[in-house]
Amino acid sequence: MKRMITYALIGIAALWNVSCASFLDESPADRLVVDNFYSSRKDAEAAVSAVYQQLGSLYSRLMYNVAELPTDVMKNGLGMPNAFLQDLEFMRYNSENTFIRDMWNNNYAGIMKANAAINNIPRITMETGLQERLIAEAKFLRALYYFNLVRFFGDVPLVTQLESISDAMGPRIPKDRVYEQIIQDLSDAGSILPLRSGYGSNDEGRATGGAAKILLGKVYLTQGDFAAARDKLAEVVNSESQYGYGLHADYAANWNTETEAGIEAVFYIEYKKPPFPSQGEMGLAGPKYSVPGGNIGVNGSNEADIPTQELWDSFDGKDRRRGVNLRYEFYSLIENGYVRSSIPLFGKYWIDNLAASDQCDVNTHIIRYADALLMYAEALNEVGDPGKAHEVLNRVRERAFGDSSGNFSGLSKEQFREKILDERRLEFPIEGHRWFDLVRTGAFIQRMKDHSAYEASVAESNKTDIAGNLKDYMILMPVPQRELDLNPELTQNPGWN
């Protein structure tokens, strides 16, 4: 039986269940109870499990909504009438958007849980090695939560000692200082956490030393420190067998429940069938309105999250990833055979022949090894090593095409930048990367203008509204208005009301 470390919240869940609370809401807890909690190994393990648990609030769907809807890969289907999600798609969102607010709140809830573990586990009498590892896991997660915040919002409050949401009053701290903390946490974690082989079979989904180094490489890449990104990612890529990483020969193996935790899984959320938490995206992405009769016999399939037409059109017909990421054919339990959707739909999280979407146990990948390779290729190109950059990029391309027919060679540095950005779009749709990629490369505004024109010409005429609503300051999300109202020391990002 796999240990569901992401959700094993024995004893501590009620104490730290603040994922739906405002970052600045009063959440009084008896400090004596909190202090008395940290007294045993089980308490330490439960505290770190609570930090992992917060991932579910972020990556079950929220990350797709905020990091993919306002991009060129995802849009709302007929099953999603939510006005705040429509605003994200059409670039009408503002500081009152509930999903942007949830992104702020859920990341800070994770940070506070991490602070509690990091600050209190050292005083527990327990095995030194396990104690150090648990603290390192909490530091990895705190770094990930802060990385999400600083990429979405820029300058944010930096809290490392406080452990309660109600304590977290304070001003925004310059993002460079936040990045310093992220880098320190990941460096600490990378020096202590074991490799995949250092964990037992019951510990799938835990942070590893390899995951810490790859995430740190992503941090450096986001900062534009390409030499540091190259060097950090090289530590893993040049010794990938030692770290236990590689590419599945079959791209689809990343979402097959038998192989999804294999060599390409760097950091992920383990899902199982009920009564454990299951993968909710199957129902949100599954067919309803676009199939004959509006029903294929799968309870909970509501066609809310769907791909853009431009995403489908961007795939080469020989690219094997297209049939995994996007699909037209679905098995109907009513027809006892396959039926065809009138539009392409997302396919990564769909399992045929399930009678209910909440039975889906496909994992959510937060970091895949393909990401490490494409980041490494990007960094190599930027530091002037095009030969090696093409070699690394083409590993991903060869898997996609089944041979070398899709390979790139002889590109200029600028051409390579464009190709690697587009390759990431084809490799990672609905994995929560696209908005970050477009913003960090400076391509967001122009790409969305081009996307607006493309979609209006081939799919929906009202997509011209996207370009009309775009503003240059949209490379940062607005600080949620509720947080501004509660904390007089907070300020809004430029341009937002």
Task: Note the pLDDT of residue 277.
Answer: 86
Secondary structure of the chain in HEC code, one letter for each residue: CCCCCCCCCCCCHHHHCCCCCCCCCCCCCCHHHHHHHCCCHHHHHHHHHHHHHHHHHHHCCHHHHHHHCCCCCEEECCCCCCHHHHHHHCCCCCCCCHHHHHHHHHHHHHHHHHHHHHHHHHHCCCCHHHHHHHHHHHHHHHHHHHHHHHHHHCCECCCCCCCCHHHCCCCCECHHHHHHHHHHHHHHHHHHCCCHHHCCCCCCCCCCHHHHHHHHHHHHHHHCCHHHHHHHHHHHHCCHHHHCCCCCCCHHHHHCCCCCCCCCEEEEECCCCCCCCCCCHHHHHCCCCCCHHHCCCCECCCCCEEECHHHHHHCCCCCCCHHHHEEEEEEECCCCEEEEEEEEEECCCCCCCCCEHHHCCCCEEEEEHHHHHHHHHHHHHHCCCHHHHHHHHHHHHHHHHCCHHHCCCCCCHHHHHHHHHHHHHHHCCCCCCHHHHHHHCCCHHHHHHHHHHHHHHHCCHHHHHHHHHCCHHHHCCCCCHHHHHHCCCCCCCCCCC
298 Cβ neighbours under 8 A, 6+ residues apart: 283, 286, 333, 354, 355, 356, 357
Given a contact cutoff of 8 angstroms between Cβ atoms, the answer to whether 394 and 404 are in contact is yes
Give the distance, in angstroms, between the CA of residue 324 and the centroid of all CA atoms in the same chain. Answer: 19
User: φ, ψ for residue 306 (rounded to 5)?
Assistant: -130, 155
CA angle (244, 259, 400) in 5-degree steps? 85
CA distances from 352 to 326, 336, 337 (A): 14, 11, 10
281 Cβ neighbours under 8 A, 6+ residues apart: 60, 61, 64, 305, 346, 348, 349, 360, 362, 364, 430
Q: Which of 149, 161, 163, 147 is nearest to 112 (CA)?
A: 163
Q: Which of 238, 239, 211, 216 is nearest to 229 (CA)?
A: 216
User: φ, ψ for residue 469 (rounded to 5)?
Assistant: -90, -15
Task: Note the pLDDT of residue 60.
Answer: 86
Query: Could you tell me the mean pLDDT of each successive run of 10 residues in the chain, 497 residues long?
Result: 41 36 36 66 96 94 95 94 96 98 96 96 96 98 98 96 69 97 98 95 93 98 98 98 98 96 97 88 94 94 96 98 97 96 96 94 97 98 98 98 95 97 98 98 98 96 97 98 94 95
Q: Which of 302, 308, 307, 309 is nearest to 286 (CA)?
A: 302
Task: Note the pLDDT of residue 80.
Answer: 86
CA distances from 416 to 244, 317, 381 (A): 28, 21, 7
β-sheet bridge partners, residue 330: 339
Task: Note the pLDDT of residue 13.
Answer: 37
Reported as half-sphere exposure (CB side, CA atoms, 13 A), residue 14 has a value of 4
What does the alpha-carbon distance between residue 65 and residue 69 come to, in Å, rounded to a whole number?
5
What does the alpha-carbon distance between residue 366 and residue 483 come to, in Å, rounded to a whole number?
27
